[in-house]
Amino acid sequence: MTRASPFLEPQAQIVLYDTSYESLPFYLKIDRPIWIVSSGKKTSIMGSFYLAEQGARYAPGFDKSLLTFAEFSAEWAMAPKGHLLVFIKQKNLARLEQEVGTPAETLVAHNDLLLVTN
């Protein structure tokens, strides 16, 4: 997904939508919190039962990083165009667009992984 690098502006919010790519921050050299969006009903998040049950602590100077689908929909509605950069599997794109009520713009497609924006 290094083809995503040109889109990763410092002010943009990186999002993993209902998927987990633990190595993404390393390969893309991301040095800020990434939002992880899930149903809120999963028994594990990124392989962690603790994270699914207890949530994540806020990083100093940043807000919440684990969001439910409903919380993310609210963020999508308020975010400036192009501010949210969402890594999502192709099979989940229709659900994202249904949840947020608008189409997402695809920036990069690689196998079954997409980078989309609001």
pLDDT tens-digit readout, 64-100:
778 889 999 999 999 999 999 999 999 999 999 999 9
Q: Which residue has the higher pLDDT, 2 or 46?
A: 2
* Residues forming a β-bridge with 4: none
In this predicted structure, which of 15-19, 23-27, 73-77, 114-118 has the lowest mean pLDDT? 23-27
CA distance 59 to 57: 6
Confidence of residue 49 (pLDDT cuts 50, 70, 90): very low
pLDDT at 109 over 60: yes
In this predicted structure, which of 12-26, 58-72, 93-107 has the lowest mean pLDDT? 58-72
* Domain assignment of residue 38, given as a range: 2-117
CA distance 76 to 29: 24
pLDDT at 12 over 60: yes
In the chain, how many domains are there?
A: 1
Mean pLDDT for the chain?
A: 82
pTM (2 decimals)?
A: 0.81
CA 75 vs CA 29, 53, 78, 81: distances in Å: 24, 22, 5, 12
Strand-pair category, 35-38 with 113-117? unpaired
Share above pLDDT 90 across residues of the chain, in percent, rounded to a whole number = 47
CA distance 80 to 82: 6
Would the CA dihedral through 1, 59, 45, 102 be positive or negative?
negative
For residue 75, report the phi and psi dihedrals to the nearest 5 degrees.
Answer: -65, -40
